[in-house]
Chains A and B, each alone.
Chain A
C-alpha cells in the first residue's frame, strides 16, 4: 500500500541551527514528492516539489530537499532556522497514476530563540 512516513512528530531547534525533517515513502510508481508548511490556523503552503531531474530541489524560504530513491526518502533541510519557521510540515507523495496526494502525519517544528 502507498504510504508516507514522517518519523518525527515534534522537533525543537534553536534559532540559527540547521534543520532536517525526515520523510520516507512507499510507492510503487515513480513518485512525485512535495513538502508543505502550515502556520498555526492556516492552510497548507507549498514549499517545494520534486517531479524528475536533479534530485536536490530548492524551495521557498530557504528550504531544500533531496530525493534519494535508494532510501525512499525526501528529507527537507534548512541550513539556518528562523523563529518564523515554527510551523507544521507535511510531506506528500503522488504519481502519474492518480491525481490524489498521500500526506504524512506531519512534523511540528518549534524554534527557540
Chain B
C-alpha cells in the first residue's frame, strides 16, 4: 500500500511566521503535489514536482514556495503566513505511468 504522511495533522501559527509543511512518501513515486482545500472550492493545486529539484506552479502559488531535495520528501513553505492561508493542506503522490493520486491525511493549518 502507498503510504503518504504529513508532518502535522493540526498546526496553529501566527501571522508573519514562516511555516513548513512536510510530506513524505514511501512508494518511490516521481510526482508529488500540494493542494489546499477550502469549503465550496474543492481542491486547488498550489505546486507540484515531477522530479527531485523540479517544481511547477499550480493554480494558486502566490504566497507559497516548495522544496524537493529528495524524491520521497516534498515540503510546502509559507514564507510569511497570513490569515487567508488558514486552510486544509493535502499532499498527494503519483507515478508517471499512472494518473491516480494518493493522498496524505492532510494538515489543518490555522493562522491567527
- Give residues in A with beta carbon < 8 Å to B: 9, 32, 34, 36, 41-46, 49, 51, 90, 94, 99-101, 103-106
Sample of 30 A–B contacts (CB below 8 Å): A9-B40, A34-B99, A34-B100, A36-B103, A41-B106, A41-B108, A42-B105, A43-B104, A43-B105, A43-B106, A44-B43, A44-B90, A44-B101, A44-B103, A46-B101, A49-B99, A49-B100, A94-B99, A99-B31, A99-B48, A99-B94, A99-B96, A100-B48, A100-B58, A101-B101, A103-B35, A103-B42, A104-B42, A105-B40, A105-B41
Number of contacting residues on B, CB 8 A? Answer: 26
Q: How many A-B residue pairs have CB under 8 A?
A: 52
Chain B positions within 8 Å of A45 at CB level: 103
B50, CB-defined interface residue at 8 Å: yes
Do B104 and A103 touch across chains, with their CB atoms under 8 A apart?
no
Chain B positions within 8 Å of A100 at CB level: 33, 45, 48, 58
Knowing that A44-B43, A94-B99, A103-B43 touch, tell me 18 more A-B residue pairs with CB under 8 angstroms: A43-B4, A43-B104, A43-B105, A43-B106, A44-B90, A44-B92, A44-B103, A45-B103, A49-B100, A51-B99, A90-B42, A90-B43, A99-B48, A100-B33, A100-B45, A101-B99, A105-B40, A105-B42
Instruction: Name, among A43, A90, A94, the residue most crowded by chain B CB atoms within 10 Å (CB to CB).
Output: A43
B64, CB-defined interface residue at 8 Å: no
A46 to B104, CA, bound (A): 12
Q: Which of B43-74 contact A (CB under 8 A)?
A: 43, 45, 48, 50, 58
